[in-house]
Structure 1
Amino acid sequence: MESSSLVTEQKKMLILKSSDGEYFELEESIAVQCGTIKNLVEDDFSHIPLPNVDAKTLRKIIEYMKKHAQKNDSNEEEIKDFDEKFVQGTFNDVYELLHAANYLHNSGLMDLLCQSIADRIKDKSVKAVREIFNVTNDYTPEEEAKVRMEHLWAHEGGEIDESLD
């Protein structure tokens, strides 16, 4: 008599804790897309506190990681569409995601978000970029005038508009 047994693969799960105390359960194979998490897993952590990532942001990052864990040659267009929709949102939301992706060391997500921000500030004036990134102009009026004359092209361009909402 032949015996058959059903062998199921047990997926190792991790518990991620956001900065505002929310818990998320995620497969280790997906979570290790982030270098920070991968390093902690290598040190035998299964409950991972993420003090620099709030729940709203972590939820979005998990959505991204799950989708990209499914990436293969046959669904590249689907992933591309997902990425385009993923970066739609306010500039501040994308910027928050960027900070979290940097902290988590997720290079694929960092590349996507940096490109989105670059696309949004493309053709903006120096004044607009300073305002967007809250950069203080430390030039004296004379220095500003000199730089402006030397680099006229950098001072042309649009101001802040709906692309940064």
Structure 2
Amino acid sequence: MTLLVENYSASDSERRVNHLICLGKMSAEGEIVKLVSSDQETFEVERGVATISNLVSHVLEDVGEDEKLIPIPNVEARILAKVIEYCRYHHQLQTNPQADEDVEKWDKEFVRVDKPTLFSLILAANYLDIQALLDLTCKTIADMIKGKSAEQIRSEFGIENDFTPEEEEEIKRENAWVEER
């Protein structure tokens, strides 16, 4: 029997995993893998959860069964904690299925974060090769810009307009078909 205890210190939009205690005999699925963030925080994660990441899965295949400490140099601890939260939730759906509406509701709440965190989640999902998380976070950005003008998008994301008026006019002419929709 495996007993998992998670201790969260939660803010409204972010949960940090502080400890994971595993007791009892563990199968390969329940083995613990240690992920080390870019800021050197170590996260103990069940193998089945960790291997939702194709990167982690390939690293474990390449280094063999003895190595359980995996550096994740491109992801800081607060973002890695969110990624692990996502992976745990979606991993448990394999044994405890939920209605699609409930999963969609959970996913929607999961990405209800500030823009810098959302962009960091996109980068982490891409680096860790977690396609479902990448799709979810990119769709969230797409929904934010849907139906907005270039100027509104620039304003929303703090993007400086570095086009000359002539370049802008040329782009509008080349893409006139977009306005016809």
Instruction: Tell me the secondary structure at the aligned position of residue 124 of structure 1.
Output: coil
Aligned match of 1:56? 78
Higher relative contact order (CA 8 A, sep 6+): 1
Instruction: Tell me the secondary structure at the aligned position of residue 30 of structure 1.
Output: helix
Query: Taking structure 2 as the reference length, what is the TM-score of the superposition?
Result: 0.72
Kindly indicate whether the alpha-carbon contact (under 8 Å) linking 1:35 and 1:106 is maintained by their aligned counterparts in 2.
yes
Query: In 2 relative to 1, CA 57–123 (structure 1 residues): closer, same or farther, beyond 3 Å?
Result: same
Aligned match of 2:111? 87
The answer for unaligned runs of 5 or more in structure 1 is 1-6, 156-165
Which structure: greater helix fraction?
A: 1
Aligned residues: 148
| C-alpha distance in 1 between matches for 2:79 and 2:124 | 7
Aligned match of 1:31? 50
Question: Aligned partner of 1:110: which letter?
Answer: L
Listed as ranges, the matches of 1:109-124 within 5 Å are: 109-124=133-148
Cα RMSD of the aligned pairs, angstroms, is: 2.4
Percent identity (aligned)? 36
Instruction: Tell me the secondary structure at the aligned position of residue 24 of structure 1.
Output: strand
| C-alpha distance in 2 between matches for 1:153 and 1:90 | 33
Kindly indicate whether the alpha-carbon contact (under 8 Å) linking 1:101 and 1:110 is maintained by their aligned counterparts in 2.
yes
- Larger Rg over CA atoms: 1
Instruction: Tell me the secondary structure at the aligned position of residue 35 of structure 2.
Output: strand
Q: Deviations over 1:80-121 (max 9, x none)?
A: 211010011112211110001100000010010010010011
Instruction: Tell me the secondary structure at the aligned position of residue 19 of structure 1.
Output: coil
Listed as ranges, the matches of 1:1-165 within 5 Å are: 8-10=25-27, 11-43=30-62, 44=64, 45-72=67-94, 73-130=97-154, 132=157, 134=159, 137=162, 139-149=163-173, 151=175
Query: Taking structure 1 as the reference length, what is the TM-score of the superposition?
Result: 0.78
Which structure: greater strand fraction?
A: 2
